[in-house]
Chains A and B, each alone.
Chain A
C-alpha cells in the first residue's frame, strides 16, 4: 500500500475527523487492522490531531499502557508511592490540628484576624485577584435575540477586541436616552472603565448595577470585589465579601466563601 497516495490520505483524514459513512468506516477499520503500516500512519495522524484539538481522542496501545503499569508496580515505585501517601497523612494531621485550634476562636476575633491579615499582606489580595478575575467571562448576547441584539453584540465584539474606549463612548451616548438602565450594558461599561484604569467610574457603574433590581444585579458586588482585590483595598474587600457570602443566591457566592475562608 502506498501511504503517499492522496486517496489513502483523504480516507485517513475522513476516518479521523468522523466524516465516513458507517459502511465505509467498517471497511476502513478492517483494512487498518490487517495493514500494520496503515495502522501506524492512522495512529500518528490521530495523535497529531489530538495534540492541537481536544475533541480528537488520543489512542493508545493497551500493551504499552500495561508496560508502564507494571513498571509502576515494582518495589521501588511502590515504596516511593507509600512515602508520598504517608507524608500526605502527616500533612493532613498537622493541618487538622491547626483547624481545631481555630474552632475555639470567636467569630469576631476571626473577622478581625482576617482583616488584620488583609491589611498587613496587601500583596495577597492581588494573588486572589489573579486567581479569580473573570473579565473574559462576561454575559454573552450572541444567542439572546432581542431587539437590542445588534447593539449588544457590537459591544461584546468590541470588548473581545479590547476596544474599551469605543465601548465607553457607545454606551454613554445611549445611556442618556434610555429610561431603563440596561444591566448588561452596565456590566460591559464598568468592565471597560476598569480596563482603562478608571476604577472610580468602574465602581460607580457597578454600584448602579447593584441597585438596578435586575437578576444580574448581584454581579455588581462580584466585580466590585475584583476591583478592591486588585487595588488592595482591604477594608472594602472585607465589606463586599460579607455581602456576597451572606447571600447564597448571589453571583459567585461559592467563590466568595472560598476567598473568605482562605483569608
Chain B
C-alpha cells in the first residue's frame, strides 16, 4: 500500500495517530505559506481542514493514486487559499448574486470549481496542437491582433474563424462528456 493510501485511509477511519502525523508533517509548512500570502493563523487552520476534507471526498469518490501525499496536500491547500482570497473579492453566483462567504460556501465552491476545471482541462488536452495553441492565447486574454502577430496567420478574419472552430470543438467535447451531464443534472 502506498504511503498516501495509508494516510487517506487513516483519515477516513478517523485514526488519531495518522491524522496527527499528517498535521505534524505538513501543517507548519502550509501555515508558513498562508502567513506569507496575506493570511492569518486562523486561515491556515481552515485551509488545512478544508484540504483534508476535500482529499477525503475525492478519495471516497474514486481512490486517489498519489505519488507524494505531501506535495498533493500542499498544492490543494494553495489552490484552496487562492480560491478563498478570490472569494473575498468576487465570487459570483449565477442568477443570484448572494453575499457570501461562509466557510461551507468556500469549500463547496472549491469542490464545484475543481470538478469543472478537471473537465475543461481534460477536454482541452483532446484538441489538436494548433487548437490548443490558439485557444490558449485567446482564452488568456490575447487580442485577435496579438494572435495574428504571434502565430503568423494571414488575416484577423482567419484568426477569428480558427478561434471559432476550435472553440466549437471544445464545447462539443465538453457537452458530450459524462461528467458535464452529471454536473448539469
Of the residues B49, B116, B139, contact of A88 by C-beta under 8 Å:
B49
Known contacts A45-B171, A83-B19; A51 and B120 CB within 8 A of each other: yes
| Distance between B84 CB and nearest chain A CB, rounded to angstroms | 14
Does B183 sit at the interface, judged by CB under 8 A? yes
Decide if B94 touches A87 in the complex (CB within 8 Å): no
Interface size bracket, A side: 35 or more
Does B113 sit at the interface, judged by CB under 8 A? yes
Of the residues A45, A60, A91, contact of B23 by C-beta under 8 Å:
A91
Q: What DSSP secondary structure best describes chain B's contact surface?
A: helix
Decide if A84 touches B36 in the complex (CB within 8 Å): no
Of the residues B52, B98, B108, B116, contact of A68 by C-beta under 8 Å:
B108
List residues of chain B with CB under 8 Å of any chain A CB: 11-12, 14, 16, 19-20, 23-24, 27, 32, 35-36, 45, 48-49, 52-53, 56-57, 86, 90-96, 98, 104-105, 107-109, 111-113, 116-117, 120-121, 124, 136, 139-141, 164, 167-168, 170-171, 174-175, 183-184
Query: 18 A-B contacts, Cβ less than 8 Å apart?
Result: A44-B175, A45-B171, A48-B167, A53-B141, A59-B93, A60-B91, A60-B112, A62-B96, A65-B105, A66-B108, A68-B111, A69-B105, A69-B108, A73-B104, A79-B14, A80-B14, A84-B11, A88-B45
5 extra interface residue pairs, beta carbon distance < 8 Å, beyond A53-B139, A61-B93: A40-B184, A60-B91, A65-B93, A84-B49, A91-B20
